[in-house]
Homo-oligomer: A and B are copies of this chain.
Amino acid sequence: MDPTAVNVHRFRVRYGETDQMGTFYNARALEWFEVGRTELLRQLGVPYAEMETRGVYLPLVEAHLSFQGRARYDDELEMRTSVAQAGRARLRFDVAITRAEDGAAVTAGHTIHAITNQAGRPIRPPAWLGEMVG
C-alpha cells in the first residue's frame, strides 16, 4: 500500500453548517475531518466500519485546527486527507480543506488517534493496519 496515499474528497457546505457570521460553524470542521478519515480508510482498503467489526477502534486523542479562510453555504470544498503512524500505537491524520473553485485555504489541521478495542483500551496495532498506513 502506498504510504503517501492521499484521499481527495469533494463536498458542499450545508445550510445547517453555517452560523450567523454567514460562514461555516467551526465545530463542523471537526466533523468534516472525520468524513475525510472515512473516505481515506475506504480508499486504503479497510473502511472504518469494517475496522470496528474487526474490533479495532480509533478514538480521537487530540485535534488541532487552523481556520484560514471563509467558506459559505453551498460552496464546494476539496478535502485532502493523509495518514501516518505517530509513535508506537497512534495514528495521525492530516487534513487540508480548500475551496474547490479557486483553491483558497479554508481549514487545515490534524488529529491524533489511539488504537484501542471497543472498551477503549489500547491494543497493539494489527499487522494489516500497519501495512495500510505504511
Contact = CB atoms under 8 A, between A and B. Distances in A.
Interface of A: 12, 14-16, 18-22, 25-28, 30-31, 34-35, 38, 47-49, 57, 59-67, 70, 72-74, 120
Given A20-B22, A30-B30, A59-B67, 8 more contacts: A15-B25, A18-B19, A18-B20, A27-B27, A38-B74, A47-B74, A62-B64, A70-B120
Contacts of A67: 59-63
Copies in the complex: 4
B38 A12 contact: yes
Main secondary structure on chain A at its contact with chain B? mixed
A66 B62 contact: yes
Contact of A62 (B28, B65, B70): B65
